[in-house]
Amino acid sequence: MKIGELSRRTGVPTRMLRYYEEQNLLNPARGENGYREYGVEAVQCVQQIRGLLDSGLTTEIIRAILPFLSAPGEIHLHPACLTPETAVLLSDEIDRIQSRIDCLSRNRDALRAYLEAVSSDRQQGMAGSARPEGVS
């Protein structure tokens, strides 16, 4: 299939598909006319790439593990893919993700505390603002 068809099937713009190729995430064949030609397996591969990118992984990490993944939504790494370089990449990525989780947790807790303080102030304000009958 041509790049336009792959784009339609996956919902990924052709520009992004070219970027994936630049990043060595996709490797289409080339026809005699020079056009990219993708096999049907490219649909699943693009879905896998999208899912990994959406989860926050870098193209560097995806490039290292993509050949060893089974299907979109599943990360089943083959032991052969865990080279020392890949182990360092994954370890660094785990640290980066944990930092993001910690930051998000702090922000969540701060917002929760703010909301509780505002709600408490409102409830106290309503209790103290009883109006006499006939006054609106």
- What is the structure's pLDDT at 72? 56
The percentage of the chain sitting over the pLDDT mark of 90, rounded to a whole number, equals 55
Instruction: Please state the rounded mean pLDDT for residues 41-59.
Output: 91
Do residues 45 and 26 lie in contact, with contact meaning Cβ atoms separated by under 8 Å?
yes
- The candidate with the shortest Cα–Cα distance to 82, out of 91, 73, 72, 70, is 91
pLDDT band at 131 (very low <50, low <70, confident <90, very high): low
The alpha-carbon radius of gyration of the chain (Å, integer) is 25
- What is the structure's pLDDT at 29? 94
78 three-state secondary structure: coil
pLDDT above 60 for 9? yes
Instruction: Please state the rounded mean pLDDT for residues 45-72.
Output: 85
Do residues 23 and 59 lie in contact, with contact meaning Cβ atoms separated by under 8 Å?
yes
End-to-end alpha-carbon separation of the chain, Å?
A: 70
Question: Which structure tokens are listed for 19?
Answer: 């970027």
pLDDT above 70 for 136? no
Which tens digits make up the pLDDT trace of 60-107? Answer: 989 988 887 766 556 666 666 678 888 888 899 899 889 999 999 999
Question: Which structure tokens are listed for 135?
Answer: 């006054």
Across the chain, what does the average pLDDT equal? 86
